[in-house]
Amino acid sequence: MELNQETVERYSRQLILNEVGLEGQTKLKNAKIIVIGAGGLGCPLSLYCCAAGVGTIGIIDNDTVDASNLHRQICHDVNHLGTPKVDSIEKKLNALNPLVKIIKYQTKLNRSNAVEIFSNFDVIVDCSDNAPTRYLASDASVLLRKPLVSASALRFEGQLSVYRPFELGNPCYRCIFPDAPDPSLTGSCSTAGVMGFVCGVMGSVQAQEVVKQIVGLDRSLVGKMLVYSALDCSFRTIKLRSKVEDCVCNSNPKSLQCFKDVLFECSPPLMILKDKERILPDDYSKMIAEKTPHLLIDVRNFQETQFSNLGYEKPGDFLHLPIKKITDSDDISAIVSNINTKMSELKDDCNLIVVMCKRGNNSQKAVQKLKQTDLVKQFELKDVKGGLLGLKDLIPDSNIFDY
């Protein structure tokens, strides 16, 4: 590595560290990392790796910048709305350090392109927000014998671990999580929420572990998991189990086909109710316009109702019952009594109860549970297919769809 004036000035504060020095800085310059995701984790991770002088940074992302990204995805701003995230992050990184080469992959990572892309890089960095991608990144790490630095952030919590499954005793992601979670039971940033600073903390620590892998510092998170809680302002390090004997990573796999496939596409909407038990968005918007009598039950949680209020209902024909209050109740008789009271306040000819949620999944669960009570003998119970989002463009002059 040539120690010219620009190099010395830019990296002087880390060049003087014994753990880095000229040798470590040269390793950073020659290193190539591939970052999966240009979002909440990928942005701070890429910024710090770029600032540290990692020579080549590849970015995989097929998404465009949305206003809801801006509170945590700090490489993007209002000028980038609607543009590909890989283009936005490239501009940010080039402005920070033009000595670093940025390679963009505006594509969706999948089993057919993962090996080809990852083969060109030294370290795989998982900044994704879904389980199938994490399994895919781990499988490629095993197959290509490349270290994987994987992090996640949700609500007020974060997790981070480093996987080197090609080394004796070190587990892969499948060793720790042998079975993929049920997509209907797992949350995401869009459904469960996340604080931006949690992404900042986890992305920064993730960059720390990437640099340590490149420079060769021994004290890393291999075989451990770092757990962060913003609410407690605490970090805990958990020792992970050793490599599982019957895991596929122990069998010297030759291709990704050796690994159990995890569905990459988003899970389809729940189909609990029959079509005749559901109301199409078009039909429900007509009911609103025609003022068809019915009791509307909103089963979203309290936080969701705060920024998306059902403002079109008339007084007396609306009830808020969070989904957990319905599905997790040991004694649903109080809920039934409350609904009966509301129905008695409406017109005599009203016998319809409509259940609403954000997407049309929890509303089905609520209708299913309520149909196990005596309500089904007195009233017609239906939900709105697609929920509030299905009505987004159908109810005019409404500000209830701000998310």
CATH of the domain at 72: 3.40.50.720
Longest dimension (CA), the chain: 86
Mean pLDDT of 339-367: 87
pLDDT surpassing 50 at residue 397 = no
pLDDT of residue 43: 97
**147 pLDDT higher than 90:** yes
Residues 219 and 334 in one domain: no
> Which active-site residues does the annotation give?
189, 357
Residue 136 has pLDDT above 50, yes or no: yes
Span 209-234, average pLDDT: 94
Q: Are residues 312 and 185 in the same domain?
A: no
Average pLDDT over residues 35-42: 96
Same-domain status, 222 and 309 = no
Tens-digit pLDDT profile for residues 278-292? 999 999 988 888 888
Helix ranges (DSSP H) in 31-130: 42-52, 85-96, 114-118
**235 with 367, same domain?**
no
Whether the per-residue pLDDT at 146 is higher than 90: the answer is yes
Task: Identify the pLDDT of residue 193.
Answer: 76
pLDDT of residue 196: 93
What pLDDT score was predicted for residue 179? 80
Spatial CA neighbour of 300 closest among 200, 394, 226, 193: 193
* Whether 43 and 166 share a structural domain: yes
The proportion of the chain whose per-residue pLDDT surpasses 90, expressed as a percent, equals 59
Q: What is the mean pLDDT of the chain?
A: 88
Residue in the structure block whose two tokens are 């899970």:
267
Do 77 and 123 contact (CB within 8 A), yes or no? no
- Write the CATH number for 303: 3.40.250.10
Token pair for 69? 């990204």
Beta bridge partners of 382: 354
Give the integer Cα–Cα distance in Å for 124 and 133. Answer: 12
Domain count, the chain: 2
pLDDT tens digits for 92-111? 999 999 999 999 999 999 99
Of the ranges 238-247, 357-366, 383-392, which one carries the lowest mean pLDDT score?
A: 383-392
Residue 33 has pLDDT above 90, yes or no: yes
Q: Which of 258, 289, 310 is a domain's end point?
A: 258
Domain that holds residue 103: 31-258
232 and 86 within one domain: yes
What band does 402 get if pLDDT is binned at 50, 70 and 90? very low
Residues 236 and 206 in one domain: yes
Name the residue with higher pLDDT: 303 or 63: 63
- pLDDT recorded at residue 401: 44
Residue 190 scores a pLDDT above 90: no
Has residue 285 been placed in a domain? yes
Q: Which residue would you say has higher pLDDT here, 299 or 389?
A: 299
